[in-house]
Amino acid sequence: MIPPIANRFVAGENIGDALDVAASRNERGLPVILNLLGEHFEDKSVAKSDRDEYIELITAINQRGLDACISIKPTQLGLDISEEVFNGNLEKILEAASEHDTFVWIDMEDHTTTDATVEAYESAVEQFGGQVGICLQANLKRTPQDLERLADKPGKLRLVKGAYKEPKDLAYRSKERVDEAYRSLIEQAFRSCDDGIAIGSHDDKMIKLADELAAETDTTYEIQMLMGVREDLQYALAEEHEVYQYIPFGGRWKSYFYRRLMERKENLLFGIRAILGR
């Protein structure tokens, strides 16, 4: 069982828990992105198990009539085993999602997976059209070229700053340089894409920039934020914007939860207060 302290950031350990949290967010005007926690599997049976759980999740979303999509990680579906395993598992999920009209996001992981992830996305949108999206990380120096390569595809692009510690020859590492790259990437996206832009950020300045560029270019976009992080802002923004909450769930919650605690001072203070019972 997930302890109460972790419930702020993780929906629960099973599909039912995740759907209940999704329903509560829908009631308050937030569509959601559901993510089964897991990554870097080296056992085909484990990757297959998560693939099947995603297919079950897609069916359950539609049975309950929720405004929800899903997000998968390539190494969760077997990319560390082989591209063939990953692509095969991804295709089965996309087939189920297409049958139920459910959108699928493909998360981006560390730089060693970028080529395979971009290629899988290109194949996915060729086969399934605009019901697929991919995450692009501003800290990687290659990302402007990837955005240019993908801008005219029918799917969606989620723009984030990037959370992985990458080699300095491949990525920007200072906060100032990553912020600069992220601003530039947002500007490039609004110049290059007609629609299908997602801003994955809790940074007020970046959201304001996207809002200004959307008005200038008459381009639609959405905002994506994490469960448990600045939720009051999410509900406020949802009054005028399309805001998705990214909701993780599953038995592998511990490492994700500790990352959330450590990445923001406010999150760490929340954890300390909860431990102290204050």
Residue 19 phi/psi, 5° resolution? -65, -35
Looking at residue 97, its pLDDT comes to 98
Q: Is the dihedral of CA 120, 124, 107, 61 positive or negative?
A: negative
8-56 pLDDT per residue, tens = 888 989 999 999 999 999 999 999 999 999 999 999 999 999 999 999 9
Characterize 193-225 residue by residue with b for buried, 16 or more Cβ atoms within 10 angstroms of its Cβ, and e for exposed: beebbbbbbeeeebbebbbebbeeeebebbbbb
Model-level pTM greater than 0.85? yes
Catalytic residue among 25, 51, 158, 260: 158
For the chain, list residues with pLDDT below 70.
1, 3-5, 253-278
CB–CB of 247/33 below 8 Å?
yes
Q: Which CATH class is domain 4-276?
A: alpha beta
102-120 pLDDT per residue, tens = 999 999 999 999 999 999 9
Q: Please indicate whether residue 110 is annotated as part of the active site.
A: no
Q: Please indicate whether residue 158 is annotated as part of the active site.
A: yes
Catalytic residue among 80, 107, 110, 146: 107
Looking at residue 6, its pLDDT comes to 77
Looking at residue 258, its pLDDT comes to 66
